[in-house]
Amino acid sequence: MKQKHGAMEMSVGTIVTIVLLMSVLVLGIFLVQRIFGTARGAIDMTEQQLYDEINKLYSSDEGQRVVIYPQTRSLTIKKGQSDAFGWGLYNDHPDEESFSSKVSVTEIGTACTMTKIQAENLISLGKSQDDIRVASASSLTHSKKIIFNIPDTAKICQMTYTLEVADRRGDIYDSVDLFVTIK
C-alpha cells in the first residue's frame, strides 16, 4: 500500500510542475510579443518619440544620410489597419540645403494582384514632400512619416517601395528601400 501512495504523490507533483511550467511559457510568449510589438512602425509614436528614435539610429549608423525607423525597414500591416515608417535626413553639404522626397513602388510580389497605382494609393501621407530645409552638418529637426493605410479589401501581398531624397538640383541625394507586407 505504501508503494501506491508514493506513486500518487509523484503524479500530483508532476502535474503541478507541468501546470507551473505551462504558465511560465505562456507568460514568456506574451512578454516576447509585447517587446517585439513595440518595435513596429511609427504610427502611434509622438513626434518627440520618433525624433529620439531617429537620433539613436544616427548615432548607431554613422555616415548615413537617410535613416529609417523601424531600423529593419520592414512593416507587416494587417488589413484594415495603418502603420508608418519614420525617417530622418542628415545634410552633409557645406551649406543649408533644400531637399525633396518621393516614395514609389519598385516591386510587387508575384502573388499580388495589385497594380503599382493601387500599391502607391496605400500611402496616405508622405508620398512626396518638397522644400525640406536642413542646415549644414545637421539633421532634420522634425522627423518625417510615411503612413500606409491598408483597406479591409486588400489581398495578402508583399511590396518594395523606394524612398528617394533629392537635393535642390534634382540629384538623388540618397535612396532607401522599404518593405511592406499586408497580412
The answer to whether 155 touches 114, Cβ cutoff 8 Å, is: yes
Total domains, the chain: 2
Both 124 and 46 in a single domain? yes
Both 83 and 26 in a single domain? no
Both 71 and 97 in a single domain? yes
Both 128 and 174 in a single domain? yes
How confident is the model at residue 4, as a pLDDT?
Answer: 60
Q: Find all residues with CB under 8 Å of 138, minimum gap 6, and list them.
A: 90, 91
Both 27 and 55 in a single domain? no
How confident is the model at residue 69, as a pLDDT?
Answer: 92
pTM: 0.75
Both 78 and 14 in a single domain? no
H helices of the chain, where? Answer: 2-37, 47-60, 116-120
3-class secondary-structure state, position 54: helix
Q: Per-residue b/e over 31-47, b at no fewer than 16 CB within 10 Å? A: eeeeeeeeebbbbebee
Alpha-carbon span 142 to 110, nearest angstrom:
37
Where in the sequence is the domain holding 69, given as residue range(s)? 41-182
C-alpha separations of 148 from 36, 104, 112, 121, 127 in Å: 20, 12, 17, 9, 10
Count of CB atoms situated within 10 Å of the CB of 163: 21
Write out residues in the chain with pLDDT < 70, as ranges: 1-10, 34-44, 59-62
What is the Cα Rg of the chain in Å?
24
